[in-house]
Amino acid sequence: MSMPAGSGVITSDSIRSFFRGRIFENEPLAPYTSMKVGGPASLYLEPQDRDDLVAVIRHFREQHFPFLMIGRGSNMIISDEGFPGAAINLESGFSDVSLVDGDVVAEAGARLTKLVDFCVQHSLQGLEWAAGIPGSVGGAVVMNAGAHGSEMKNHIVEVEALRGTSIATVKTEDAGFGYRTSGFTQDIVLSARFRLSRGDREDILRRKSEMMARRNATQPLNMPNSGSMFINPSGTHAAHLIEQAGLKGKRIGDAQISEKHANFMVNLGSAKAADILKLIDLIRRTVYQNTGVLLELEVKLIGFSEEARASLS
């Protein structure tokens, strides 16, 4: 099968001639996201190891074939048309968490829950705030995920990333970390090294449970969602502005602004990405009219046309 996309032409058979991991064609992406919306990717790949990943990335770059790194899909909305390129997931080949000279090294495809549990097991404290964030280490590094006053960059000493076609080790101070952003948006994060202090395991477990309980009490975790849709503007909370605008509970199709947390949207069953985009637009317009604050998206919009993006006021 041959697939024109971007300016390149890729055949899955030609990839299979050198790629050892799993490949699916025309793979629906909704199941790979926490919001459970979105169409298919032309190709979906799970590289087996670094050589496999580097070879396929080199091939895509040479062919100008678009690709998308997808972790646990908990911070992205994929368009109903899907992604016209390759979605690459590192969960199967890159999910080790280990101790190296007293530091914790976690591969990008490992789930954050696995990392947090590993730290508890080894009585290492500091990452309890990440308990309950349903992302991967790679996604959390790229997003500089954070909660309860802490964030990834506070615990990371260095990140290994594929830059272009070579592997770079980037120290935290050079990583461009900011509020829910980093300098890795054009790279492929391979692993991160965390420096944590020793603590009492029972205390660590207690803090982890408290933070999970706080999430359960305040977030609509029983329905598909993408976490916070908008970044908090300085000095206030997006949820507060959305609630003040009277939009809590507002519904378009099966997409709804959560009744429990106004900065969350939930999928009531068969929401379309187009409905979510309309709600995003409604929120931004209404909050702007009310307060003069233009809310910025935290979630990444994937596969939307320029026209659809431009329709956002």
Ligand X SMILES: Cc1cc2nc3c(=O)[nH]c(=O)nc-3n(C[C@H](O)[C@H](O)[C@H](O)COP(=O)(O)OP(=O)(O)OC[C@H]3O[C@@H](n4cnc5c(N)ncnc54)[C@H](O)[C@@H]3O)c2cc1C
Residues that bind ligand X (CB under 6 A): 34, 68-76, 90, 108, 133-136, 138-140, 142-143, 145-147, 184, 188-189, 219, 221, 225-227, 300
Active site residues: 180, 228, 298
Helix axes 112-121, 201-218, angle to 10 degrees: 150
Would you state the structure tokens that stand for residue 255, as one six-digit string?
């997409």
Bridge partner residues of 305 (DSSP):
none
Q: How far is the CB of 261 from ligand X (least distance, A)?
A: 9
Nearest Cα to 128, choosing from 196, 34, 218, 221?
196
Tokens at 75, concatenated: 């911070």
Smallest separation (angstroms) from ligand X to the CB of 290:
26
Smaller CB distance to ligand X: residue 33 or 125? Answer: 33
Q: How far is the CB of 292 from ligand X (least distance, A)?
A: 26
Judge contact between 5 and 66, C-beta under 8 A: yes
How far is it between the farthest Cα atoms of the chain? 57
Q: Please identify, using beta-carbon distances, which residue of 195 and 215 lies nearer to ligand X.
A: 215
From the list 185, 118, 182, the residue with the least C-alpha distance to 156 is 182
**DSSP bridge partners of 98:** 105
Closer CB to ligand X, 23 or 133, in the complex: 133
Residues facing residue 43 across a β-bridge: 25, 86
Return d(Cα 38, Cα 80) in angstroms, integer. 4
Q: Rounded to the nearest 10 degrees, how much is the dihedral formed by the CA atoms of 84, 223, 109, 11?
A: -20
Shortest Å distance, C-beta 117 to ligand X: 16
Q: Closer to ligand X at the Cβ: 15 or 70?
A: 70
Question: What is the nearest approach in angstroms of ligand X to the Cβ of residue 253?
Answer: 20
Question: Which two three-digit tokens encode residue 174?
Answer: 């050079």
State both tokens at 59: 């091939």
Please work out, in degrees rounded to the nearest 5, the angle formed at the alpha carbon of residue 85 by the alpha carbons of 83 and 86: 105
- Taking the least distance from each CB to ligand X, the nearer of 5 and 286 is 5
Q: Which stretches of the chain are DSSP H helices? A: 12-16, 50-63, 112-121, 137-143, 201-218, 238-244, 273-291, 306-310
- The least CB distance from residue 279 to ligand X, in Å, is 16
Q: In sequence order, what DSSP letters do the residues of 158-180 get, joined into one string?
A: EEEEEETTEEEEEEGGGS--BTT
Nearer to ligand X by Cβ, of 24 and 288: the residue is 24
Nearer to ligand X, 71 or 84 (CB): 71
CB of 129 to ligand X, least distance (A): 8
